[in-house]
């Protein structure tokens, strides 16, 4: 999917309806490649809906309709030649609560490879290499290399969430979407996931939905403030928090609503 250019994600006049309710209104943004971008705003403002547009997950529901356009790495994801399977390989997603499969650590990491491989069988050596590489990238290899047969659901929550990230990596995604990935974690777990995001930045474009203003300030290069389905302000995170241009942004980050 990759084409040259600085923007990983571009939306133009994007609107979305759940039945008769309009959840996104004329959203036009540009998300830079290789950076971490936070989507912030009060509950119900459209953050998660927008995030799920980027891999067309919303379209699982027949009462959802959209207008406008989305380009991922220069390709219109609504073009007729776009495969949803390939799109969701290129644009992976991590959810609020860790959701490892109830199988071994090893089988979690190779699950996507087994499903998406065009060959009937992959060599064990290929799978072993993929597991070591993915777990190393998320900082789990040292702790889990002797526990690859352990049931993934037996891991600590922080390790489970890192494993969910590792599960994406063998598919070579370009973009990783994170929907409040730290909401089920304690302070130490949150710190570990944020450190993981810093490690992945540059190799992957990361878009994160968060209600945690401190997390947005610490972890993201740019932030997008949304309110009632619209983008109110999009700026470098430091600028948005220290010198917001829109008074509604200031009200939100000062905690006057939301």
- The domain ranges of the chain are 7-99+173-253
Instruction: Give the architecture-level CATH label for domain 7-99+173-253.
Output: 3-Layer(aba) Sandwich (3.40)
pLDDT at 229 over 70: yes
pLDDT at 3 over 80: no
* pLDDT at position 257: 66
Count of Cβ atoms closer than 10 Å to residue 158 Cβ: 21
Which pLDDT band holds residue 122 (cuts at 50, 70, 90)?
Answer: confident
**CA 213, CA 193: separation in Å to the nearest integer?**
16
**CA 183, CA 94: separation in Å to the nearest integer?**
12
Q: What is the pTM of this model?
A: 0.93
pLDDT digits (tens, 9 = 90+) for 72-114: 999 999 999 999 999 999 999 999 999 999 999 999 999 998 8
pLDDT at 202 over 50: yes
């Amino acid at each position: 999917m990759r084409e040259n250019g600085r923007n990983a994600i571009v939306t133009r006049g994007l609107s979305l309806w759940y039945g008769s309710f309009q959840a996104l209104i004329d959203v036009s943004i540009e998300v830079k490649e290789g950076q971490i971008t936070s989507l912030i705003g009060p509950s119900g403002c459209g953050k998660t809906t927008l995030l799920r547009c980027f891999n067309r997950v919303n379209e699982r529901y027949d009462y959802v309709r959209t207008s406008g356009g989305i380009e991922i790495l220069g390709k219109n994801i609504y073009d007729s030649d776009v495969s949803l399977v390939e799109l969701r390989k290129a644009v992976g997603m991590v959810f609020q609560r860790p959701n490892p499969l109830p199988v071994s650590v090893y089988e979690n990491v190779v699950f996507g490879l087994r499903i998406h491989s065009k060959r009937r069988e992959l060599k064990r050596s290929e799978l072993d290499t993929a597991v070591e590489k993915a777990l190393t990238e998320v900082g789990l290899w040292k702790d889990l290399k002797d526990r690859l047969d352990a049931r993934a659901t037996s891991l600590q929550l922080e390790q489970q969430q890192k494993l969910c990230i590792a599960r994406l990596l063998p598919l070579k995604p370009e973009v990783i979407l994170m929907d409040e990935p730290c909401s089920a974690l304690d302070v130490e777990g949150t710190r570990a996931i944020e450190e993981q995001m810093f490690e992945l930045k540059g190799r992957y474009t990361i878009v994160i939905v968060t209600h945690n203003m401190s997390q947005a300030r610490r972890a993201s290069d740019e932030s997008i403030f949304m309110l009632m389905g619209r983008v109110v302000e999009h700026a470098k995170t430091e600028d948005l928090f220290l010198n917001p241009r829109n008074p509604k942004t200031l009200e939100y980050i000062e905690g006057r609503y939301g």
